[in-house]
Amino acid sequence: MSYLSSAMRIDILTLFPEMFHNVLGESIMKIAREKKLVSFYLHNIRDYSNDKHKCVDDKPYGGGAGMVMKPEPVFNAVEAVEAQDNLTPTKILLTPQGETLNQEIAGNLSKKARLMIICGHYEGFDERIRSGIDVLEISIGDYVLTGGEIPAMVVIDSVVRLVPGVLGGNNSLQDESFVNRLLEYPQYTRPAEFRGMKVPEILKSGHHTKIEEWRMKEAIVRTQERRPDLLEEKTK
């Protein structure tokens, strides 16, 4: 199934394409499609199995718990899907062993013309998938999930919102957490007072220079308190 538009193309290889329908059809993903800035294509890996029962997994050699995704249907899917477009995709393999996703990686991926995201399941991939396909391995954190579908959604959301034109303006991106290795400053909206908690007076002053100075100070303080590692990386 495809969600058509133009510009960046994202192919998603998964055993559970139905999981993506709502995510790709709402909010920023919907806006990106309607602006014809991104197109999404869903591919069921099971369709590329040569087994008459469409089997995509088997027991691991050497014994052990669980099932391992077979190389044959994944290789077949990657090769067939890649041939659907002249653009060479950056292939992403979602695995706990990959590099941890961060804003810099998302920004680099947002500049690509085509992404192919491969979602694993069960106990993981046959090692020959990792070694036989040129992939960028990405993890979303040091914990285990049932499959690669939810990590794929995280990667897609983090990337698509950075595609030029998807969001309203560049300022909304420049002020976000992790840009310039700082957490975002505190945000407030109406009412000016809620249950005794007041909006800082500086934000109501209309003095833009002082507001920017306050926001930078608060961003540094918040980062020092909650993610000092980011400041350490910033000074290296």
Count other C-beta atoms under 10 Å from residue 40's C-beta.
Answer: 23
Model pLDDT, residue 5: 47
Instruction: Copy the structure tokens of residue 102.
Output: 């961060």
8 Å CB contact between 67 and 93? no
Supply the mean pLDDT for the chain: 92
In the chain the beta strands, taken as DSSP E runs, fall at 2-3, 8-14, 38-44, 57-58, 68-69, 90-100, 114-118, 136-139, 193-194, 197-198
Higher model confidence: residue 179 or residue 200? 200
Model pLDDT, residue 179: 65
- Where do the domains of the chain lie? 2-160, 175-235
Q: Which distant-in-sequence residues (6+ apart) come within 8 Å of 205 by Cβ?
A: 211
Instruction: Copy the structure tokens of residue 174.
Output: 């420049």
Q: Is the pLDDT of residue 190 over 70?
A: yes
The pLDDT-based confidence of 232 (bands split at 50, 70, 90) is confident
Model pLDDT, residue 233: 76
Average pLDDT over residues 56-66: 91
DSSP 3-state percent helix, strand, coil across the chain (nearest 5) = 40, 20, 40
**Superfamily per CATH, domain 2-160:** SPOUT methyltransferase, trefoil knot domain (3.40.1280.10)
Give per-residue pLDDT as tens, 127-165.
Answer: 999 999 999 999 999 998 999 999 999 999 999 999 999
Give per-residue pLDDT as tens, 40-50.
Answer: 999 999 999 99
First to last CA, the chain: 46
Q: Is the pLDDT of residue 173 over 50?
A: yes
The angle subtended at Cα 124 by Cα 123 and Cα 130, nearest 5°, is 160
DSSP state of 85: S
What is the DSSP code string of 55-81?
--EEPPTT--SS-EE-HHHHHHHHHHH
Calculate what percentage of the chain has a pLDDT beyond 70.
92
What is the DSSP code string of 165-202?
TSSS-HHHHHTSTTGGG-PPPP---S-SEETTEE--GG
Model pLDDT, residue 177: 59
Q: Which distant-in-sequence residues (6+ apart) come within 8 Å of 11 by Cβ?
A: 41, 43, 81, 84, 89, 114, 115, 116, 117
Model pLDDT, residue 65: 86
**Superfamily per CATH, domain 175-235:** tRNA(m1g37)methyltransferase, domain 2 (1.10.1270.20)
Count other C-beta atoms under 10 Å from residue 168's C-beta.
Answer: 9
Average pLDDT over residues 7-21: 97
pTM as predicted:
0.87
